[in-house]
A and B are shown apart, each in its own frame.
Chain A
Amino acid sequence: MSQRSTAVRLPRRSPVDGLRRRRLSFAEVLAQSVSALAPTAAMVVVPSIVLVEAGAGTLPAFVAATALVLLIGWCLTQFGRRMAAVGGTYSYTAKGLGPVGALVGGWALLVGYATVAMAALVGAALYLAGLLGLEPTPPVVALLGGAVGLLATAFAVRGIRLSARVALVLEVVSVALVVAVLGALLVLAPRTPGSAAPVVDAPLHWGGLAVGTVLGVTAFMGFESAAVLGVEARRPLVAVPRAVLWTPAVAGVLVFGAAVAQVVLLRAAPIDVLTSPVPVAELADRNGLVPLRRLLDLGIAASFFACVTGSTNALGRVLFSMAREEVLPRTLGRTHRRFDTPHRALAAVLPAVVGVPVLALALGARPRGVLVGALTVSAAGYVVAYVLACLAVPLFLRRIGELTPLPLAGGLVAGAAGLAVLTAAVAGAARGDGAVTAAVTVAALAPGVAWALWLRWRAPERLRSVGVYDQATVSSVLPGTVPAEPPR
């Protein structure tokens, strides 16, 4: 091969410039993923829900869920090692499935981040109300939720670094609190089976295991959100994939441990504890550990608050990416002069994240209903985004000529398993009392498809630059090796 006469030209500026470049350490990148996942809430809430459905299949269901999420994470690292994105899985999907697939996935991702932020907002407000000794009536929750939303947005606008550090501290403290509470309860727990034992030890069957796995997967949603920090992370092609793999691994261990503890605790508990909204808190109350319960509430509130900031950060950056591609109005792609954050996209997020739950509460919905409903919709949004990104892996690698058997198999298996989870969840919802939630989910996700097709039909030129990422510029290569693009 001789010296090639390439026509390669590099731009002088990255299409996603304006964000503060290369400042976040690995711990701060990890904090973004961990906070969006909200491990405390997952540890306390999810195991008991799985227990009711899966019985003795609970622990295998968590192992299966962790394995599936790790596989999805591995697929995402195929992109993460090759491109530093700001739009997360949306930008990844664009490189494999093209603009229409990307917009469908991108919309689903937006729905996922937005609704999980809403759920966490209501959750934080609920637990704060509990801490302050207030009755969690809809107006109280709405007021506290508004305050939480404002504070979280202020952190996000001030800088990803501040919000990541706050989130990391909150998560470490709250996980430690949960571990302490579970430990104390294990010491105090009676060794005799209670009336919940038949449910906890219900024989393992495939249906229960499947539903349990689906519910288990919801504990991990948001684990990939470090993928929006492609510009801001130091050594992004190393740090982002690592965070996307470590987060589900660490969360998997934590949630599994919490599940083991809860199996032991709830086996000895009366049945009405198992069916209460937060069985761990209920147990603490009944054991006379009221201060412990307060601590637990504080931990959960902190974790929910961190989740609001994490999801808002991610949501703002996906919108920022879309605005830079001119799929959305260009003004959302502006960054703050001093803080170098996508402040307009973040500010645009606030009314939706605060407004929708407040409206639902004003219309008479129960706070806990809003929390669970929003979580369900968000899980569906995330899974759609993940499935599309996993299916994009083989196409992407083939396009750049780097396809090998392992990623091909990984992408297909993860995509198919994700689809199966989605189908099982929808079928389960339609069969049970979740018809309203299922309808809301479909109503939330359908506009994405319509939007993508409409743009394809009426304004295909706006789809041209879908998939922008922090690409190489003249200053990133060895000086003199690649010429610059002529200025436009």
Chain B
Amino acid sequence: MTPAIDRGLTGRQPKAVQSALAILETVARVGAGVTAKEVAEELGLPPATTYRLLNLLVGEEYLVRLPDLHGFALGRKAARLTGATGAAPVCTAAREVVADLRGRVRCGVHLVLCTPSTLHCADVDPDHPLQAPELVERHLHASAPGKLLLAEQDDWQDVLGPTRLHRLTDRTVVRPADLDGELGETRRRGWAVQGGQVHADLSCAAVPVRSPAGALVAALVFTVRGVDPAAPAAHAVPAADFARRLGPLLG
């Protein structure tokens, strides 16, 4: 392959980038259902240019065409522009529920917040701290809360490219087909579990915390020494009550 030649931004390209951003902003401001014609009028852009940019943004999935095909809305991918940094601190009531749970079990209990495509370890067990929260947040295919998040997607490859299935230990799933299988199992079971996939000597289970509307907002994560996933899994079913109490506090 020939290396790409960097010609910088030429001709009308800067204008096109500005117009594309203005279009995103207009759809966000006016709200779902805005039509191409309205966007063109709002921005004073020529219709043909507007339609072309809209099609490009829809093709890249930052915008979505609504079922009538003439209205637009922001796509799921637009959430990635804000990243996980906007995560709000966990409220005291929720921390108390987690502390209550910690008092009843003899293993690490952590609260991990979920956005549609990212994780954030918000409340790590002070007595049994996570060895490396960043591994949990980054390697969604290996960690239990990550598997929970991926199982939530129509297609996990929207969130995690198939080339990003890095091997962390001997037990990490690295084949897309194997991950498909694990995610199918997770969906059926309702919670996720893994043994030795992030650290060779740790296993963990993740129980979903859902908002009253049903969206995945957080996960209660149990970590146990050893590679047998049955050990953390034993905590999953009793924890469902705590997850239900957390739902309205976080959703």
Task: Tell me the A residues contacting B by CB distance below 8 Å.
Answer: 1, 3-4, 6, 8, 10-11, 21-23, 81-83, 95, 234-235, 237-238, 399-402, 404, 406, 471-473, 475-479, 481-482
Question: Does A401 contact B70, Cβ atoms closer than 8 Å?
Answer: yes
**Distance of A481 Cα from B154 Cα, bound (Å):** 18
Question: Does A477 contact B32, Cβ atoms closer than 8 Å?
Answer: yes
Q: Determine chain A's interface SS by DSSP, over half rule.
A: loop
Residues of B within 8 A of A235 (CB): 59-61
Contact of B76 among A22, A95, A478 (CB under 8 A): A478
What are 14 residue pairs bridging A and B, where the CB atoms are less than 8 Å apart in the complex?
Answer: A10-B67, A82-B65, A95-B69, A234-B157, A237-B59, A400-B35, A400-B70, A401-B36, A473-B154, A475-B76, A476-B61, A477-B74, A481-B31, A482-B32
**Distance of A471 Cα from B65 Cα, bound (Å):** 8
Question: Does A478 contact B74, Cβ atoms closer than 8 Å?
Answer: yes
**Distance of A11 Cα from B66 Cα, bound (Å):** 10
**Distance of A235 Cα from B62 Cα, bound (Å):** 12
Rounded to whole Å, the gap between the CB of B111 and the closest CB of chain A is 20
- Interface membership of B109, Cβ < 8 A: no
Closest to A95 in B: B69
Task: Tell me the B residues contacting A by CB distance below 8 Å.
Answer: 30-38, 42, 47-48, 51, 55, 58-61, 64-71, 73-76, 78-79, 116, 153-155, 157-158, 215
5 nearest CB pairs, A to B: A400-B70, A6-B33, A478-B74, A238-B59, A237-B59
Question: Does A8 contact B66, Cβ atoms closer than 8 Å?
Answer: yes
Contact of A402 among B31, B36, B42, B64 (CB under 8 A): B36
Rounded to whole Å, the gap between the CB of A121 and the closest CB of chain B is 32
**Distance of A399 Cα from B69 Cα, bound (Å):** 9
Question: Does A479 contact B59, Cβ atoms closer than 8 Å?
Answer: no
Question: Does A478 contact B36, Cβ atoms closer than 8 Å?
Answer: no
Residues of B within 8 A of A400 (CB): 35-36, 68-70
- A6 and B215 in contact, given A82-B58, A401-B36 (Cβ under 8 angstroms): no
**Distance of A476 Cα from B65 Cα, bound (Å):** 10
Closest to B58 in A: A237
Residues of B within 8 A of A471 (CB): 67
Residues of A within 8 A of B60 (CB): 235, 238
**Distance of A471 Cα from B59 Cα, bound (Å):** 13
Closest to B31 in A: A4
**Distance of A81 Cα from B31 Cα, bound (Å):** 22
**Distance of A404 Cα from B51 Cα, bound (Å):** 9
Question: Does A21 contact B51, Cβ atoms closer than 8 Å?
Answer: no
Contact of B31 among A6, A95, A401 (CB under 8 A): A6
**Distance of A147 Cα from B59 Cα, bound (Å):** 41
Question: Does B33 contact A4, Cβ atoms closer than 8 Å?
Answer: yes
Question: Does B31 contact A3, Cβ atoms closer than 8 Å?
Answer: yes
Residues of A within 8 A of B34 (CB): 4
Rounded to whole Å, the gap between the CB of B90 and the closest CB of chain A is 19
Question: Does A401 contact B32, Cβ atoms closer than 8 Å?
Answer: no
Q: Which residue, A11, A21, A400, A471, has most C-beta atoms of chain B within 10 A? A: A400
Question: Does A83 contact B75, Cβ atoms closer than 8 Å?
Answer: no
Contact of A82 among B31, B42, B55, B61 (CB under 8 A): B55
**Distance of A479 Cα from B48 Cα, bound (Å):** 30
Contact of B67 among A81, A472, A478 (CB under 8 A): A472
Rounded to whole Å, the gap between the CB of A140 and the closest CB of chain B is 40
- A478 and B69 in contact, given A81-B59, A237-B58, A404-B48 (Cβ under 8 angstroms): no
